[in-house]
Amino acid sequence: MDTLTGLLEGPKARGAFLLKTVFNPPWAVRIEDRAPLSVATMVHGASWLLPEGGEPVRIGPGDVAVIRGPEPYTIADSPDTPVQISVDPDQRCSTEGGEDVTESMALGVRTWGAEFRQPGSAVMLSGTYQAPNEIGRRLLGALPTVVVRSAAAADATLIGLLASEISRDEPGQELVLDRLLDLLLIGVLRTWLADPGSGAPGWYRAQGDPVVGRALRLLHENPAHGWSVEELAHKAGVSRASLARRFTELVGEPPMAYLTGWRLALAADLLREPDATVATVARRVGYGSAFALSTAFKRVRGVSPQEFRTGAAAAPARSADAVAAGPSRTVVLPGTAQAGGRSSTATVWPPLSSPVSRKPRPR
């Protein structure tokens, strides 16, 4: 398994919130959704993302944004429009005066907002991954807070398919939408990783090195193997000292520290599987016993594997992986226009996982 496959095989939406939202100007919505990751694209009109403490980011028609949560944000037709509706942590949509509009603004199957009016209406498609295990800990830890892919680089066919499917109510529709969301996300991530100036993680960039790349592939292909620096160096065709030095320079940490992080990231994902036990997960990621995995897991994540899998590890703010990723930042891939020609320090892009997506669908 190459490192790109290892990174991108993680996204697996399971009953994700997918929604088409329609707004007529002037409009502004405050979102306090704590979702770990969201994807959104404008299919008509444009919008502005107003992060707390950051510059506004314009998202034009056809642009696709990937957002790592869970910080709040505001989206609006203009940076100056006052907030009109807020989505609180309990998923209630309320006006600034306190009126609950969760149901009254529902427009049909996975559709919410105002009646569409030409030409001023804005229409957005959004999908929200509901749990970190649906994306993969390694990916969440590597991502900037916002990645924006321009309409010129986006997959218009895939966006068109999502637009046609999101309001349908057919057997198996949830699975169809989940997979479309995964494909849309992966497309943006591939563009981000391929961009030399995007700030992709060192361990990803290092895969192009003939020595370190070989060592990384070995670790990714068989994390359960009892690797040592000596064995990795032998297979890479260099001395132990040479591999250790080169690996640390390019990846940012020594080989065995990287292996530990990779194993625990895999373990975190596997622990969410319904039939997994701590013992079986330990064997799959290279620990000799459940006790050994539990000790390492608690040392790094602060909770035991059992506490983690039952949800007791849910943090009140950013996840450990998000914190490890460093300060919030936006990556605007080439071809996407931004306010003042600058990249923003935005924190999130709106998932708009409104509670209406949870309600019974009108027939």
Distance CA 58, CA 46 (A): 7
Structure tokens at 146: 């916002």
HSE-CB at 362 with a 13 A cutoff on CA atoms is 12
**Model confidence at 35, in pLDDT bands (50, 70, 90)?**
confident
Structure tokens at 230: 């000596």
**More confident position, 144 or 264:** 264
Render pLDDT for 312-330 as a digit per residue (tens, 0 to 9): 444 433 344 443 444 467 7
CA torsion 181→186→191→193, rounded to 10°?
A: 140
pLDDT at position 186 over 70: yes
Prediction pTM value: 0.73
Phi/psi at 20 (nearest 5 deg)? -105, 125
**More confident position, 354 or 309:** 309
Phi/psi at 120 (nearest 5 deg)? -85, -10
Measuring CA to CA, which residue among 162, 174, 134 is closest to residue 13?
134
Distance CA 159, CA 85 (A): 27
- Total Cβ atoms within 10 A of residue 243: 24
- At position 303, the amino acid (one-letter code) is V
